[in-house]
Structure 1
Amino acid sequence: MTNGNEKIKTSRSVMYISSIIVMLFVLFGMFFPEQMGKAADASFAFLTTDFGWLYLLAVGFFTVFVYVVAFSRFGLIKLGKDDDKPEFSNFQWFSMLFGGGMGIGLVFWSVAEPMMHYLSPPVGEGATAESMRTAMRIVFFHWGIHPWVIFAIGGLALAYFQFRKGLPFLISSAFYPLIGDRIYGPIGKAIDILSAFATVFGVATSLGLGSNQIATGLQYIWGIQATPTTVSIIIAVMTMLFTLATISGLHKAMQLAADIKVWLSIGFMVFIFLFGGTVLILNNFTDSLGYYLQNFIGQTLWMGNVDWLKGWTVFYWAWWIAWAPFVGQFVARVSKGRTIREFVLAVTLLPSGFSMVWLSIYAGAAFNLDKLSNGAIQAAVNNDYTTALFATLQQLPMYSITAPLAILLIVASFVGSANSATYVLAMLTSNGDMNPGKQIRSFWGIIQGAFTIILILVGGGTAALAVLRTVSIVAAFPFMLIMIIMCFSIYKALAQEKL
């Protein structure tokens, strides 16, 4: 296999084409917002109605593939040279993987999603004991093993072909066994452009959701109106924060945000666990874990309520696929020297286990406090689901302290994720350079923020978020097909290993 470092050229075609596509989309949204909305809705309806089954089948295939590889003879292959040692101790590695599981999405949906499924389950009546069990099974499904299987495939491809085969740190490198040196030509560049495109929309969706939650939180706490202008100002501030952090370096500038995120996350979990109904939370976790594992295969391929699936599971699978280049890069970077089996088991089980504990604490407390407050939390969710977290904290002690800290946690969680995603976009569009220049890093930071602000201002808050969600599904569709082919390419490369 050719050493990729000898083949890297200074071509900026991936950056130029990716940025032109994104900017054309922004301009189209500015001048033809109604048409963009209709086009996005039509694409969404076509993909989710006619190909919703493919999203489910693909993620089911990824799950089988990654575990078959891990437990086969290939599981002992190192992500690196045979004599490479892990860069980090087990404890450091596990800590970083846990950190990777603490994203903005968990903070945003930790109360809102289980409450929404509890009130409007895909089957059966809402607001019952059975719908509560169903809600927890669904959130475990959406935030558990399946998302991390998607990330593990992206990470496995990047780590294997970079650390063991010496190819560029690009998604296109995973296709070397199938197309050879053509990964450096138009085909490879098209793959990297699609990777960048999917990442931009995944990050923009998260930026929109996170900013909207901050805005509604400010309104809920202090009465500051959550208008599209307010949301846009918040996006601008957050964009400035993560862009400055990205420019100043991946490690130094983000250490403070990472520390704030970790300690606030731990603090909130302990606080809610102690004051939100400890026994109920523990009972809820135990029952939900068993129910989730019992229905693992059936839930993976369940198509019993297509309309519900389009708004939830299909959206989530598309969102996770859009984030696969970014999170895959993160887990790959910290896993050099690990065996494939170690990598797969740690990446798919540790962060998903953390997510389930997190969700059990937040959702269990919300269910308990909702009952004690005669439905205060479900009333807040019905009115505006983005306020669910604050409505829950309001039922607990020290709300005047915890509410502003929750805002800080949301900001820290998003800044960390967006900074890393911006860094990855810079890598994807600079030939896999693991230390891309500051100009290209700042360029992608500003582009993402401006892109989201324009959509919010032109389309209005809720409508723009709906468009972002829709477009993220559309953008992830071709990348899902790329990931399916990627699995066959990984298998072909592993089969050529001398074991």
Structure 2
Amino acid sequence: MKQRQIEWPVFLISGGSLVLFVIASFISVEWIANFVESTFTWSATYFGAFWQVFMLLNLIVAAVMMVSKYGNVRLGEPGKPETSTFKWIAMIMTTLLGGGGVFWAAAEPMYHFLETPPMYGDIAPGQEATISPALAQSFLDWGFSGWAILGTLGVVVLMYGYSKGLPMKPRTLLYPLFGDSIMKKNSILGIIVDAFSILAVAAGTIGPIGFLGLQAAYGLESLFGISNTFLTQVVIIFSLVTIAAISALTGIHKGIEWLSRFNIILTITLMILILIIGPAGFIFDSFIGTFGLYLGDYFELSLYRGDRDWLGYWTIFFWAWFIGFGPAMALFISRISHGRTVRELFLAVIIIAPLVTNFWFTVVGGSGIFFELQNPGSVGDALYEGGMPATMIAIATQLPFGTWVASAFLFVSIVFVATTTDSMAYSISMTVTGNDTPARSIRVFWAITMGAVAAVLLFIGEGSINALQSFIVFTAVPVSLILLPTLWLAPKVVKKMAKSQGIIK
């Protein structure tokens, strides 16, 4: 496929919006916080119910396609897949989990254990009976629906466009609807689609980079007495970005693949270690017991609308975050999934990845609940006083060899966020060029840029990072409208692909 040049309107709109956000934060963090809070509330109020229904429908359509004859359709270029199944799944999983899988795995189950989710409001908080409701809510927020939006229907539509010689851009998601007009360089709609998709995923990546700087610096101070200063935070971000830039520079099948594989092996090792030295029986019992409740209440949990304020800061926030990642993740997964069948892809994304994620949440968050039951306040006090980083440290240090385990968590966190940064830098580079192997300089530029913006926002104040994280919800509004047509476009184009491959007549 021929090399394409940078589309400057897309680059300037998306990059310019980030620059304006930073400048506005310099002028008045308070004004930005108020602006973001109002857009956050507006988005959650008017789009929350839509996102809940959309996410559930996306999962249902994908599941039907997976078990149907269309599951045999092979995606992208013919021939064997480019990577082994383990490496492939590792790249998929670490890209999303890097956005917060370590700290949220510790904090979210604890939040829901100490303050029972409203759907289970008749159960008193902090009791044994609260364990399954707390974990079930966490499973929902990081489970089947969340994963399905990232790598199922959108990937099918993008792969169809690829077979037609179209560029790897978010606007290709709407090609079956608008035809060649949206693919033109001067297409206003195409430029807007690409620019908003970049802005959403950049915000969704810069936020975790900034928070990691705060959280890792907190951990280093707690464990080793290293002062939690802006310099420490910047050194952490610089280290992360250096790893991500080198990984993005070397490409999909070298740095990104290697880092993802290393990350997943390290995480599995840490998980096994916790099971050996931690409350393994409690973890397995909690996972099995919760999963039954989770499956039985899945539709009710997915569509619950009883407490809209609470939803806005939990499920709706996560749905918006994952929707914002949707186009870029679809681009990245498309890039690494040539030769895979629809069934293979969907099994990996909506079955394997959520199961592993939910078990990881049980290992980390479940351990925290176990310690809290044994010694009330041992984790809860840290959560309320120090937030997510304190929660993870409080859990890890109660295990044997606690300092070493906590250090391992910090290291895994840095590598997780680095894998997200390199993958998303690669996806953004594909968007601004349309090339499935964009120039190395562009990949490195975006990795460095996202780290630099995170550092600048930290310099301005923690409130600016909080504002950017909340801004994710607003950016999900246009992106959800971009992804909505895939509900019917994916079945339409997979049928055409099935005919061309002789699967149906």
Give the conservation status (yes or no) of the 8 Å contact 1:100–1:351: no
Distance (whole Å) between structure 2 residues aligned to residue 23 and residue 94 of structure 1: 34
Name the CA shift for 1:257/1:90 in 2 (closer, same or farther; >3 Å): closer
Aligned with residue 43 of structure 2, among 43, 47, 69: 47
Distance (whole Å) between structure 2 residues aligned to residue 256 and residue 335 of structure 1: 16
Give the conservation status (yes or no) of the 8 Å contact 2:200–2:476: yes
TM-score by length of 1: 0.91
Counterpart in 1 of 2:395? 392
Q: Single out whichever of 308-317 and 464-473 deviates more from structure 2.
A: 464-473
Aligned with residue 197 of structure 2, among 195, 198, 201: 195
Q: Single out whichever of 31-40 and 329-338 deviates more from structure 2.
A: 329-338
Counterpart in 1 of 2:55? 59
TM-score by length of 2: 0.90
Counterpart in 1 of 2:244? 242
Distance (whole Å) between structure 1 residues aligned to residue 66 and residue 31 of structure 2: 46
Distance (whole Å) between structure 1 residues aligned to residue 405 and residue 373 of structure 2: 21
Q: Secondary structure at the match of 2:485?
A: helix
Counterpart in 2 of 1:134? 133
Name the CA shift for 1:230/1:49 in 2 (closer, same or farther; >3 Å): farther
- Counterpart AA for 2:82: E
Counterpart in 2 of 1:360? 362
Aligned with residue 108 of structure 1, among 71, 81, 103: 103
Counterpart in 1 of 2:270? 268
Counterpart in 2 of 1:417? 420
Q: Single out whichever of 436-445 and 196-205 deviates more from structure 2.
A: 436-445
Q: Single out whichever of 71-80 and 20-29 deviates more from structure 2.
A: 71-80
Q: How far off is 1:9 after superposition?
A: 5.8
Number of positions where the alignment pairs a residue of Structure 1 with one of Structure 2:
490
**What are the Cα deviations for residues 245-275 of structure 1, in whole angstroms up to 9, with x where unaligned?**
3234444344664354233212210111122
Name the CA shift for 1:8/1:178 in 2 (closer, same or farther; >3 Å): farther
Distance (whole Å) between structure 2 residues aligned to residue 469 and residue 361 of structure 1: 26
Give the conservation status (yes or no) of the 8 Å contact 1:98–1:354: no
Distance (whole Å) between structure 1 residues aligned to residue 224 and residue 85 of structure 2: 44
Counterpart in 1 of 2:409? 406
Distance (whole Å) between structure 2 residues aligned to residue 155 and residue 212 of structure 1: 34
**What are the Cα deviations for residues 327-383 of structure 1, in whole angstroms up to 9, with x where unaligned?**
323332332222223322222111111111111111222222223344311121121
**What are the Cα deviations for residues 123-153 of structure 1, in whole angstroms up to 9, with x where unaligned?**
2232122322211001110111111110123
Counterpart in 1 of 2:33? 37
Whether 1:449 and 2:451 are equivalent positions in the alignment is yes
Q: Single out whichever of 131-140 and 28-37 deviates more from structure 2.
A: 28-37
Q: Secondary structure at the match of 1:384?
A: helix
Q: How far off is 1:435 after superposition?
A: 1.9
Counterpart in 1 of 2:328? 326
Q: Secondary structure at the match of 2:484?
A: helix
Counterpart in 2 of 1:118? 113
Counterpart in 1 of 2:159? 159
Two-structure CA RMSD over aligned residues (Å): 2.3
Aligned with residue 70 of structure 1, among 45, 66, 76: 66
Q: Single out whichever of 38-47 and 217-226 deviates more from structure 2.
A: 217-226
Give the conservation status (yes or no) of the 8 Å contact 1:276–1:366: no
Give the conservation status (yes or no) of the 8 Å contact 1:318–1:476: yes
- Counterpart AA for 1:149: A
Counterpart in 2 of 1:178? 177
Which 5+ residue runs of structure 2 have no aligned equivalent? none
Give the conservation status (yes or no) of the 8 Å contact 1:161–1:173: yes
**What are the Cα deviations for residues 18-63 of structure 1, in whole angstroms up to 9, with x where unaligned?**
2122212221222232221211111111111232212212212211
Aligned with residue 433 of structure 1, among 415, 435, 453: 435
Give the conservation status (yes or no) of the 8 Å contact 2:169–2:194: yes
Q: Secondary structure at the match of 2:202?
A: helix
- Counterpart AA for 1:408: F
Which 5+ residue runs of structure 1 have no aligned equivalent? none
Counterpart in 1 of 2:471? 471
Q: Single out whichever of 404-413 and 198-207 deviates more from structure 2.
A: 404-413
Q: Single out whichever of 50-59 and 253-262 deviates more from structure 2.
A: 253-262
Give the conservation status (yes or no) of the 8 Å contact 1:111–1:366: yes
Name the CA shift for 1:96/1:196 in 2 (closer, same or farther; >3 Å): closer
Q: Secondary structure at the match of 2:379?
A: helix
Give the conservation status (yes or no) of the 8 Å contact 1:104–1:206: yes
- Counterpart AA for 1:479: V
Name the CA shift for 1:258/1:474 in 2 (closer, same or farther; >3 Å): same
**What are the Cα deviations for residues 129-187 of structure 1, in whole angstroms up to 9, with x where unaligned?**
2322211001110111111110123333333322x333211221122221111122322
